Structure 1
């Protein structure tokens, strides 16, 4: 399937020349993309002192802001093990036996709240300038109203990847693939938050990274939310200046902000909606 938005096109993956060991990080917006990119960077370079900005080390291949040929050329020039960002579900990109695919999941309500705040931090005139499209007339509703609309919006995943149906399609597809394929790994945002050391070690093992024991403490420390926020200028995904404030990208990092906004009745309605969109075993893992 081909996925498109005002600034993305999964067709840019067509014919991409993979290498042995490539890591593709496939996430929904505000679900831990930058966190997983940082973890992969630390596992690749085995030091907290990265050789370049994170967005340079791990390009967003689908993003229309940077010409496709330029992104491909930059990736071709990389000598280190490559880790590539995408927001495209796995059914929209090539699945290559030489590559590993990491899908990060976050509680959808927390993702939606974080996305709400992120949308207010985007310079939409700058995005239009870079993509050649019209300036968006987006005007955010109050946050709770926006969240309730997001829960009820009925749209196809291909039309709106960050909608609730889009989130559930992305994760359901990955859930099914991970059950039968060793090169698809699901990671839960809550597990990264609860025990970052243990989860980073699990990721390293699954992706076949070898890391000397003596450097682990420094890598885990560098991947912590507070340390990453302190380095926002180098780590925020903003190579083209589309964020009004890079520091605001790392806003909270905790879980539970979505549930806090809803009454018990509204939360029960959300659970009913998700039960229509994803299998019970995935939802039990996702909502724990």
Structure 2
């Protein structure tokens, strides 16, 4: 498996983790609807609109180094319900098991860029780094130096292009256009014997109930018809924002300046407010150097010219 490593994640943490038949690995690129998909899976598996634990404890991010690996593994071993795990690692960095279902979610990368920009602004970096040190102490490992990227430009427009033009190898960057496209491509190229579900952020927005029902079928989960209205209601963006203390990753003010702001606007097409025609042409040229026509069309859902 390839190793993907950054300041707050390390895919090598999967080493030694024992998968169970029926496990669900939720594995989108960052800011493509991961938390939304985790919530949907939680509702389908548990079939109750109120979660018994914070979402990030029910569905921990195994790669995330801000929580001790030993504690995460212990929690998952103790779970008796069908497990649904989070990762931002591409498929070539994950264990392959035909008895497991992998879910990858795509989104227009231009919206991903704006979402990751807001995500960074809302992050309490000092709290993340402190948690990273505590977790390393518990696991008895020595941390490598924090990876420092290029300084962030002042304006949102320049930050967008920094993200788009970033040539850092996918194994060493948390999010970029290259990393986002390469990540999704690994799942499109999955071996025939793996069970991979492809979702798109726009489809979740357009018809959430239909997507939840289709996913339940793919996961072979039976849901009483009377439960559907409450489950779908609990999976809406607005409902998740209203319960941000338990639905946001690492929910609480220890990691986020404002947990509710983690669920920012959550809509598609935000990039229209930032990019003019020249920007659109420049973006189209760039994205065509990174991905196939088929992947570009699927991710963007509209002509990019």
Contact 2:96 2:194 in 1 (8 A): no
Pair 1:152–1:127, CA change in 2 (3 A) = same
Answer yes or no: is 1:193 the counterpart of 2:205: yes
User: TM-score w.r.t. structure 2 length?
Assistant: 0.90
Contact 1:128 1:135 in 2 (8 A): no
Q: Which residue does 2:215 correspond to in 1?
A: 203
Q: Distance in 2 between matches of 1:199 and 1:238?
A: 26
Query: What is the Cα deviation at residue 265 of structure 1?
Result: 1.7
Q: Distance in 1 between matches of 2:147 and 2:194?
A: 43
Q: Which residue does 1:13 correspond to in 2?
A: 14
Answer yes or no: is 1:103 the counterpart of 2:104: yes
The worse-fitting range, judged by mean Cα deviation, of 215-224 and 126-135 is: 126-135
Query: What is the Cα deviation at residue 237 of structure 1?
Result: 0.6
Q: Distance in 1 between matches of 2:75 and 2:153?
A: 36
Query: What is the Cα deviation at residue 155 of structure 1?
Result: 2.2
Query: What is the Cα deviation at residue 96 of structure 1?
Result: 1.0
Answer yes or no: is 1:231 the counterpart of 2:248: no
Q: Which residue does 1:219 correspond to in 2?
A: 231
Q: Which ranges in structure 1 are unaligned for 5 or more consecutive residues?
A: none
Q: Which ranges in structure 2 are unaligned for 5 or more consecutive residues?
A: 134-144
Query: What is the Cα deviation at residue 131 of structure 1?
Result: 1.6
Contact 1:25 1:83 in 2 (8 A): yes
Q: Distance in 1 between matches of 2:77 and 2:277?
A: 51
Q: Distance in 2 between matches of 1:269 and 1:222?
A: 40
Q: Which residue does 2:117 correspond to in 1?
A: 116
Q: Distance in 1 between matches of 2:193 and 2:288?
A: 25
Q: Distance in 1 between matches of 2:80 and 2:160?
A: 43
Query: What is the Cα deviation at residue 282 of structure 1?
Result: 1.4
Q: Which runs of 4+ in 1 moved over 4 A?
A: 133-140
Q: Residue 261 of structure 2: SS of its match in structure 1?
A: helix
Q: Distance in 2 between matches of 1:170 and 1:131?
A: 25
Q: Distance in 2 between matches of 1:258 and 1:175?
A: 25
Q: Distance in 2 between matches of 1:84 and 1:62?
A: 10
Q: Distance in 2 between matches of 1:131 and 1:229?
A: 26
Q: Distance in 2 between matches of 1:264 and 1:83?
A: 42
Aligned positions of 1:38-49 closer than 5 A: 38-49=39-50
User: TM-score w.r.t. structure 1 length?
Assistant: 0.95
Q: Which residue does 2:256 correspond to in 1?
A: 243
Aligned positions of 1:1-288 closer than 5 A: 1-132=2-133, 139=152, 141-177=154-190, 180-181=192-193, 183-239=195-251, 241-288=254-301
Q: Distance in 1 between matches of 2:194 and 2:217?
A: 12
Q: Distance in 2 between matches of 1:251 and 1:114?
A: 8
* Deviation sequence 1:24-60 (CA, Å, 0-9, x none): 0001111101000000000011110111111111011
Query: What is the Cα deviation at residue 134 of structure 1?
Result: 5.5
> How many residues of Structure 1 are paired with residues of Structure 2 in the alignment?
287
Q: Distance in 1 between matches of 2:146 and 2:207?
A: 43
Contact 1:90 1:170 in 2 (8 A): yes
